[in-house]
Amino acid sequence: MIVGERKPFDEIKAKVSDYRKVLVLGCGTCVAVCMAGGEKEVELLASQLRLASRMDKKEIEFAEHTIVRQCDREYTEPILEKLGEYDAVLSLACGAGVQLVSDVVEDVAVLPALNTRFIGSTREEGVWIERCRSCGDCVLGDTGGICPLTICPKGLVNGPCGGTNDGKCEVTSEKDCAWTTIYNRLDKQGKLDNIRRIFSPIKYSAQTTPGLQVNEAYLKVETEGTDGQ
Amino acid sequence: MASRSFKEALDSGDFVVTSEVGPPKGTNIEEMLHHIDLLKDKVDGINTTDNQSSVMRISSLAVCHLAQERGAEAILQVTCRDRNRMALESELLSANILGVHNVLCLTGDYVSVGDHPDAKPVFDLDSVHLIQTVRTMEQGKDIAGNELNGPTRFCVGAIVTPEANPIEPQLLKFEKKIRAGIDFVQTQAIYDLDNFKRFMQYARRFEVKILAGIILLTGVGMARYMNANVPGVVVPDQLIRELAGAPKGQALQTGIAIAGRMIRQIKDERICDGVHIMAIGHEGLVPQILETAGL
């Protein structure tokens, strides 16, 4: 999932202070799971903002709404009319959600209430850990299901650096060395040969920004359309 | 000019000695030049470090060039931390046209340990890729497959940490470095020669020259600091007691004696092919260490 965290309250408050009608818009998928942008968090943030604006003697109306996914037109387009009723939308989605909502309602300011952190998984209740850098060339099949590009701060693909110590990372002794972990797991699986070959440098051309992914079936339709012109 | 190239020294079968200078942080290079002059005729090669410990300094290549101009045989240290593949390849071409033909390929420390913790860590290539890059450019091509107008020529080295814990993942990478094509290896500092002999029993099978890393111990505080903070460096209790037992003001001399004694034993027993002496911050003492070692 995409993991996010709420921005500092004062930063959010300052950003909405120039508007009169603000829709606090939650996202019911990833950021709801990581307790940053779902229905509950929308309710909490809207209440805090109402209280703060009263204290500041400002007349700002804060409405609340949460949709299934802000990053999907299927869910954002149906609320287009509703969005148009506000001066600003305060989005509790990840950066992708904020941008899609902004694309849908171009004449309304869409403001982020979260900082998007990473693609991660749940480590324990309330704790999420980064697990994928979306490099576009997955090596997990060779590395025992542990991503060296994400877990190793240097993103090394051919083994540990000289900074690893007692199985811990050079950068912080609180983290395990990615390559020691990979080695131990493959050793258990009897698959150390997986990592004896020299892995090539990462192809950064596969990471052109912004990334664009077209489903093969849809790519064909598009080509046919072009051919017909 | 040095009487022979570093590659010739390695190939001669003689016991090889290298040392290093750290480029200063700032434009005052007087002391560094003094150290180069002190070392140039006493060692087979002088490493110049590359933003060592992730601290921004004069570039390794600029210092290599100055060292060569003064008649030293320079070994360019290159890390993957600060440059992408284009900048690394460009650096290698530049080194060659300035007459620098020795390169030590390193991953590099992470940026957070140094003096620019907010800098972007690059690590576009790793040390294995960097070795492959040097070898590819010697074939007249860059690593994107484009023709070079004139190939490079290098004597290529890498590092290994014989006391790494655990050692197995370290050796997996070490063997990749050998397959990528290196001529020599400088080890991380070693202090326990029995452990090092065991490492050499393993490493002897590879056709690569191995230089044992010798870091000058300046006192008991430094020894304890290295044990606590430097990955893969183990100063045995016996040496710590020896340093602690030194008469007041004599700890540094004891450190010199220890380094000299180790070098002499490595040479006499031909444990490996040579030594790489690092007297961090005390480069001026390297001639004294060599004298103590009988070199």
CATH of the domain at A72: 3.40.50.11860
Are B124 and A201 in contact (CB < 8 Å)? Answer: yes
Report chain B residues whose CB lies below 8 A from the CB of A170. Answer: 109-110, 113, 231
pLDDT tens for each residue of A100-147 = 999 999 899 999 999 999 999 999 999 999 999 998 889 999 999 999
Interface of B with A (CB under 8 A): 80-81, 85, 107, 109-110, 112-113, 121, 123-129, 132, 143, 159-161, 164-166, 168-170, 172-173, 175-176, 179-180, 188, 231-232
Interatomic CA distance for residues A25 and A31, integer angstroms: 12
> B31 lies in a domain?
yes
My answer on whether A108 and A173 are in the same domain is no
Are A183 and B159 in contact (CB < 8 Å)? Answer: no
* Cα of B158 to nearest chain A Cα, Å: 11
> A128 lies in a domain?
no
What's the pLDDT at A209?
81
Interface of A with B (CB under 8 A): 153-167, 170-171, 177, 179-180, 182-183, 187, 192, 195-196, 198, 200-202, 204
Give the count of domains, chain B.
Answer: 1
Confidence of residue A219 (pLDDT cuts 50, 70, 90): confident
Q: Please compute the mean of the pLDDT values over residues B35-44 and round it to a whole number.
A: 96
pLDDT tens for each residue of B71-86 = 999 999 999 999 999 9
My answer on whether A71 and A110 are in the same domain is yes
The number of C-alpha atoms within 13 Å of A137 and in the hemisphere containing its C-beta is: 13
Would the pLDDT of A225 be above 70? no
pLDDT tens for each residue of B89-129 = 999 999 999 999 999 999 999 999 999 999 999 999 999 99
> B178 lies in a domain?
yes
What's the pLDDT at A221?
59
> A105 lies in a domain?
yes
My answer on whether A63 and A137 are in the same domain is no
Are B175 and A196 in contact (CB < 8 Å)? Answer: yes
> B76 lies in a domain?
yes
Secondary structure (3-state) at B103? strand
Q: Quickly list DSSP for chain A.
A: -EEEEEPPHHHHHHHHTT-SEEEEEEESSHHHHTTSSSHHHHHHHHHHHHHHHHHTT---EEEEEEES-TT-HHHHGGGHHHHTTSSEEEE-S-HHHHHHHHHHSTTSEEEE-EEEEEEEEEEETTEEEEEE---SS--TTTTTT--HHHHSTT--SSS--TT-BTTB-SS-TTSB-HHHHHHHHHHHHT-GGGGTSPPPPP-GGGG-SS-----HHHHHHHHHHHHH-
Which of A57, A90, A118 is the last residue before a domain boundary?
A118
> A210 lies in a domain?
no
My answer on whether A65 and A110 are in the same domain is yes
My answer on whether A146 and A183 are in the same domain is yes
> A127 lies in a domain?
no
What b/e string do you get for A102-117 counting C-beta neighbours within 10 Å, with b at 16 or more?
bebbeebbbbbbbebe
ipTM surpasses cut 0.90: yes
> B220 lies in a domain?
yes
Of B289, B211, B285, B275, the closest CA to residue B35 belongs to: B285
> A60 lies in a domain?
yes
Task: Determine the residue of chain A that is closest to B117 in CA distance.
Answer: A171
- Tell me the CATH number at B86: 3.20.20.220
Percentage of chain B modeled with pLDDT above 70: 99
Would the pLDDT of A228 be above 50? no
Which of A94, A118, A142 is the last residue before a domain boundary?
A118
Q: Please compute the mean of the pLDDT values over residues A9-16 and round it to a whole number.
A: 97
> B154 lies in a domain?
yes
Q: Which of B128, B164, B166 sits opposite A158 (nearest CB)?
A: B128
Interatomic CA distance for residues A118 and A10, integer angstroms: 23
> B195 lies in a domain?
yes
Are B124 and A180 in contact (CB < 8 Å)? Answer: no
Q: Residue A89: give the domain boundaries.
A: 2-118
My answer on whether A18 and A96 are in the same domain is yes
Give the count of domains, chain A.
Answer: 2
My answer on whether A89 and A188 are in the same domain is no
Pairing mode of beta strands B45-48, A127-132: unpaired
Which of A92, A118, A144 is the last residue before a domain boundary?
A118
pLDDT tens for each residue of B49-60 = 999 999 999 999
What's the pLDDT at A229?
41
My answer on whether A110 and A137 are in the same domain is no
Q: Please compute the mean of the pLDDT values over residues A193-217 and round it to a whole number.
A: 90
My answer on whether A98 and A10 are in the same domain is yes
> A157 lies in a domain?
yes
My answer on whether A102 and A74 are in the same domain is yes
Would the pLDDT of B63 be above 70? yes
| Mean pLDDT for chain B overall | 96
Q: Residue B113: give the domain boundaries.
A: 6-292
Interatomic CA distance for residues A99 and A93, integer angstroms: 9
pLDDT tens for each residue of B219-237 = 999 999 999 999 999 999 9
pLDDT tens for each residue of A145-184 = 999 999 999 999 999 999 998 999 999 989 999 999 999 9
Are A201 and B166 in contact (CB < 8 Å)? Answer: no
> A31 lies in a domain?
yes
My answer on whether A78 and A15 are in the same domain is yes
Would the pLDDT of A223 be above 60? no
What's the pLDDT at B61?
98
The amino acid at B92: L
> A172 lies in a domain?
yes
Would the pLDDT of A99 be above 80? yes
Report chain B residues whose CB lies below 8 A from the CB of A198. Answer: 128, 132, 176, 179-180
Would the pLDDT of B275 be above 70? yes
The amino acid at A44: L
> B1 lies in a domain?
no
In the sheet with A88-91, reading across from the earlier edge strand, the strands are A61-67, A21-27, A88-91, A109-112
pLDDT tens for each residue of B175-222 = 999 999 999 999 999 999 999 999 999 999 999 999 999 999 999 999
My answer on whether A40 and A86 are in the same domain is yes
| Mean pLDDT for chain A overall | 93
